[in-house]
Amino acid sequence: MNAIKMKAMKQPKVTKVPFYDLEIVRFLIKDGSDLDIAYAYEDLVFSEHGLFILQFIGESSQSFACWFNKDCIESDRINIFNSLTKTSTLNGLELEYKGKFEIYQKEDCDEIDIHFEKV
């Protein structure tokens, strides 16, 4: 009987990918600002027109950080954030204003950089 020797192979590390409930965010954005989701990437959810970004805090679908585009008019930012906060509170969600962001297009490619500025 011939025995087959097998070399133990190292298994690649499995990276846990968190599941975020986008329906909750869609409702929050729509009810609180009358806008829709334009794009979602990892833990970031962009509103239409790039007006603001909601960021999941941790792996929870109940807590969010809110970032506004630096070009957003201050009175609009305050009104929208107050409306988002009201919707959040009424639905048992937590929303925290974190600051402003700016998007830069990288040269010679289709990628962007986002610069966040905490308050």
User: pLDDT, tens digit, for every residue of 35-72?
Assistant: 999 999 999 999 999 999 999 998 888 999 999 999 99
Rounded mean pLDDT of the chain?
A: 90
Split at pLDDT 50, 70, 90, the class of 2 is low
DSSP 106: P
Predicted TM-score (pTM) of the model is 0.83
DSSP, residue by residue, 54-112: EEE-TT-SSEEEEEEETTS-HHHHHHHHHHHHHHHHHTT-EEEEEEEEEEEEPTTSS-E
Amino acid at position 87, single letter? T
CA distance linking residue 58 with residue 64, whole number of Å: 9
- Domain range list for the chain: 22-118
DSSP, residue by residue, 2-43: PPPP-PPPPPPPPPPPPP--HHHHHHHHHHHHS--EEEEETT
Classify 99 in phi/psi space as left (phi over 0), alpha (psi -120 to 50) or beta. left
For the purposes of burial, counting CB atoms within 10 Å of the CB of 111, is it exposed (0-12), middle (13-18) or buried (19 or more)? exposed
